[in-house]
Structure 1
């Protein structure tokens, strides 16, 4: 079995500003989980250790990838248009979820959370499709990266 590449550091564009405490918590958990376990192989640089900077520029999603020492590996720019509906749906269901955890019954929270996970899976699958041929990532890595992409939008 070949060695997969991995992310060793993640940086989000901090110029966008801070979000709510719930969103900041989601971001922090996603970054922690990503660093702990991920599969991240930029095409042509498979098997290395990488740093990733995620940012929004001109309404596009930018993946700036460097090696562990900071040397440039690749920059990929994705249109956000295919993500707009899923991100909007994810925001709406997350707002419902955060409101529910404060006052709803456990069965109501579970139902909303199932919907949230479904939309999250759709977003992570779309991310994998959009990165195909550029960066190979597994489903768990895609889910955590999708969370960070949403965190960038919540701040914006």
Structure 2
């Protein structure tokens, strides 16, 4: 039977993020991703998969592994196309955290959250486009991976 999902996502050398709010966002994305995802690398009929997600020399590396941690394929993407979205995402997350901690009101928090969802959708669409032909993802998996990419980028 073919199992087209991730059972593990590792982010080597990932220290906790500077903000407790950003760290909670990363951990929630990780939990949601592992609970439900669709991840189907092209030409690989066996699964489930593990993924090591890293940044190397300004590039995003998807190191796809089998269930026993053996390397299957590495996909390297330029980070440039994601930079504006990542920057905007961090600004929105900071604004959301400030709105919540300073009690700016439910309407303001909801407006910021809508902006964050929009950036998630845009980031997911870009990730799916950049992985097209190499890895098939559903929209929710791409959204959660985009959150993890933002967390990696925030670390540097």
Both proteins in one fold, TM over 0.5: yes
Other-structure match for 2:95: 96
**Secondary structure, aligned partner of 1:109:** helix
Deviation, 1:46, is 3.6
Matched-pair contact (CA < 8 Å) for 1:42–1:134: yes
> If the length of structure 2 is used for normalisation, what is the TM-score?
0.94
**1:81-117 Cα deviation digits (max 9, x unpaired):** 0001111111111111110111210011111111111
Other-structure match for 1:144: 144
Matched pairs, number: 154
How much is the aligned-residue C-alpha RMSD, in angstroms?
Answer: 1.4
Deviation, 1:13, is 2.6
- Which of 16, 19, 26 is matched with 1:18 structurally? 16
**Secondary structure, aligned partner of 1:53:** strand
Distance 1:27 1:105 in 2: 24
**Secondary structure, aligned partner of 2:16:** coil
> If the length of structure 1 is used for normalisation, what is the TM-score?
0.94
Query: Which structure 1 residue ranges, 5 or more long, are not aligned?
Result: none
Query: Which structure 2 residue ranges, 5 or more long, are not aligned?
Result: none
Matched-pair contact (CA < 8 Å) for 1:13–1:56: no
